[in-house]
Structure 1
Amino acid sequence: MPHIPLHPDLPGISALFDYRPETAVPLGQLAEVLLRGPSTLTVGERELIAAVVSNGNECRFCTGSHAATAAETIEGGRPVVDAACAGVDDAPVSAKVKALLRIALAVRESGRAVTDSLVEAARADGATDVELHDTVLIAAAFCLFNRYVDGLGTVAPEDPAAYVEIGKRLAAGGYAGMAGGE
């Protein structure tokens, strides 16, 4: 049950964006830049980072939304996302993406958990400085989004089909103009 009065028909961050549109605009822009802006990482790889971090933070709404979006945008679809959420080492993704996911999970624990050895391993697997930067920022931003959504007790749909629809919408339209909700 939400801790503040939120629109009862809007789940997760959508309700929060409806409640405070003036904060929705910059948060939506941040998500758009991080997950859809120019990058050598694919949209699917970046959505996968968001899903894995959200899963680690046990944020049901963000995990459901971004796992569904990653499934729509990553080669291999839902099985890849589910495998990565279950354990990075067994995920059918490149060594570079595994190394970046390990960094993202370290950020989820603490920024100081990102060690020189994690960074060097990612570089050895082909990660660029921009990819390292963006991975850390995506992970940090999703810690914020997860805590925002859960900290105010937003509603998370029980029906998995709701997340499939959110994933399709985000895969097609991205995050620009999210002031109306995710």
Structure 2
Amino acid sequence: MAHIDLGVDEKQFPGITGPMRFRPETAKPLNELAEVLLRAPHSLPAGERELIAAYVSGRNDCNFCCASHSAFAAVQLDEGYTLVDQVRADLDTAPVSAKLRALLRIAGAVQVSGRQVTTELVEAARAEGATDVEIHDTVLIAAAFCMFNRYVDGLGTFAPEGRDAYAESARRVVEVGYGNAIPMD
């Protein structure tokens, strides 16, 4: 049960969806940020950006965000959950491009502390072809998901178990985006 009364059935509006319905005026900019970072046109495919969000959320032990963004990544990656699981289990051996691996290392550093991002990590990403925009957005995705994770877990929201629980929200986010995926009325 959430730490505060969100005014919704937590099983119908789990994780971040309950707090967003509770405070739609804060939900709007948060959804806009997620939309820009994870879905807007970009040199990194949306599935890879969602994978960064899932990776950081998993490292933060945020069950809802990890499960939901793993689902969002899986439906947008050719390798689906197989790749998501491999990245989350062992980044060093996961079958991702050297560029994505370098960006995920930056995201992992941000998850610990922004000051853990070193010149060496950035140069390694550049050496693998990462652009400044990709590096910037990786840092911002990781930082934003640290915030989203703490928002969800700090309010003690409900996280459904099992991948099937996230399939419909994955379909909605891919189809209509973040701003329209959560019914606000």
TM-score bucket of the superposed structures, by smaller chain: over 0.9
Structure 1 window deviating more from structure 2 (80-89 vs 107-116): it is 80-89
Counterpart pick for 2:157 among 154, 157, 161: 154
Tell me if the contact between 1:24 and 1:178 (Cα under 8 Å) persists in the aligned partners.
no
Q: How does 1:119-130 map to 2 (within 5 A)?
A: 119-130=122-133
1:80 is matched with which residue? 83
Moved over 4 A (4+): none
Q: Distance in 2 between matches of 1:146 and 1:178?
A: 18
Q: Distance in 2 between matches of 1:150 and 1:103?
A: 23
Gaps of 5+ in 2: none
1:15 is matched with which residue? 18
Gaps of 5+ in 1: none
Tell me the amino acid that sits aligned with residue 44 of structure 1: G
Q: Distance in 1 between matches of 2:61 and 2:97?
A: 25
Q: Distance in 2 between matches of 1:85 and 1:173?
A: 27
Q: Distance in 2 between matches of 1:145 and 1:23?
A: 12
Tell me the amino acid that sits aligned with residue 5 of structure 1: D
1:50 is matched with which residue? 53
Which is richer in helix? 1
| Cα deviation 1:5-63 (Å, max 9, x = unaligned) | 02122100000110000000000000000001121000001000000000000000000
Tell me if the contact between 1:68 and 1:78 (Cα under 8 Å) persists in the aligned partners.
yes
| Cα deviation 1:73-112 (Å, max 9, x = unaligned) | 0121110101111121111110000000000000000000
Tell me the amino acid that sits aligned with residue 39 of structure 1: H
1:2 is matched with which residue? 2
Q: Which has the higher contact order (CA 8 A, sep 6+)?
A: 1
Q: How many residues align?
A: 181
Kindly tell me: are residues 160 and 178 of structure 1, through their superposed partners in 2, closer, same or farther at Cα, counting changes over 3 Å?
A: closer
Q: Distance in 1 between matches of 2:3 and 2:85?
A: 31
Q: What TM-score results when the alignment is normalised by the length of structure 1? A: 0.96
- Identity across matched positions, percent: 60
Tell me the amino acid that sits aligned with residue 45 of structure 1: E
Q: What TM-score results when the alignment is normalised by the length of structure 2? A: 0.94
Does 1:135 find its partner at 2:174?
A: no
Tell me the amino acid that sits aligned with residue 124 of structure 1: A
CA RMSD between the two structures: 1.2
